[in-house]
């Protein structure tokens, strides 16, 4: 076996070792380039100050904890504001009409103010030549326990339709976050 190895000319050995050296040299160059790229990313992440990653990691985790607590506080605040907003009178509609056909114009009116749950009030003013009267009727869940005139029914229907319009940007902004997604 040694005789067959010894029979190989020396220049073959030199060429094989030269090719091996060139391949190793290329491998070292590629590893160096990869290391420089990694060092550059590390410097960008840590910053120019050279902060130790072991010190940076606890600071980052503490900041993440602070931000999580702040998000929880903001979510609680949003829930409170959404509940408060549902209870505010936010839909107003007015219908004007002529209460008496023998004189005047559309000086009488009915107005409805509702919150997000359909609760509120209908206010009607009947204008007459000698006197005017104002009536207030409570509304619970979109209905009133008092009898409604045609104009009051119409203004209530308009207010309910407006407050429940799903394509309205206002009503979609007022829905809870879970329903929006």
Domain presence at residue 104: yes
106 near 99, Cβ under 8 Å?
A: no
Same domain, 78 and 93: no
Q: What is the pTM of this model?
A: 0.50
Same domain, 128 and 83: no
Domain presence at residue 42: no
Domain that holds residue 62: 52-87
Kindly give the confidence (pLDDT) of every residue in the chain, 181 residues in length, as a single tens digit, with 9 standing for 90 and above.
566 777 778 888 899 999 999 999 999 999 999 999 998 887 777 666 666 777 778 888 999 999 999 999 999 999 999 888 877 887 789 999 888 777 767 889 999 999 888 889 999 999 887 888 999 999 998 899 999 999 999 999 999 888 763 333 334 444 444 454 4
CA angle 55, 57, 60 (to 5 degrees): 115
Number of domains the chain is built from = 2
Give the residue from 40, 72, 87 where a domain finishes.
Answer: 87
Same domain, 161 and 120: yes
Same domain, 93 and 78: no
Same domain, 109 and 77: no
110 near 151, Cβ under 8 Å?
A: yes
Domain presence at residue 150: yes
Same domain, 65 and 105: no
Give the residue from 63, 87, 111 where a domain finishes.
Answer: 87
Same domain, 137 and 67: no
Tell which phi-psi region holds residue 166, choosing left (phi > 0), alpha (psi between -120 and 50) or beta: alpha
Domain presence at residue 35: no
Rounded to whole angstroms, the Cα distance separating 119 from 149 reads 18
Same domain, 143 and 116: yes
| Residue 65 Cα distances to 46, 71, 72, 147, angstroms | 20, 10, 11, 57
């Amino acid at each position: 076996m040694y005789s067959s190895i010894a029979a190989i000319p020396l220049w073959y050995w030199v060429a094989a070792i030269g090719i091996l050296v060139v391949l190793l040299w290329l491998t070292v160059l590629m590893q160096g380039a990869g290391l420089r790229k990694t060092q550059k990313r590390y410097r960008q992440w840590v910053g120019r100050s050279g902060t130790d990653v072991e010190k940076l990691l606890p600071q980052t985790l503490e900041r993440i904890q602070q931000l999580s607590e702040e998000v929880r506080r903001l979510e609680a605040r949003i829930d409170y504001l959404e509940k408060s907003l549902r209870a505010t009178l936010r839909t107003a509609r007015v219908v004007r009409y002529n209460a008496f056909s023998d004189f005047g114009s559309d000086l009488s009116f009915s107005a409805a103010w509702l919150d997000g749950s359909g609760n509120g009030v209908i206010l009607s003013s009947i204008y007459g030549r000698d006197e005017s009267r104002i009536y207030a009727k409570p509304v619970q869940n979109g209905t009133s326990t008092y009898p409604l005139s045609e104009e009051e029914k119409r203004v209530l229907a308009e207010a309910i339709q407006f407050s429940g319009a799903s394509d309205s940007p206002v009503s979609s902004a007022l829905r809870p976050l879970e329903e929006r997604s």
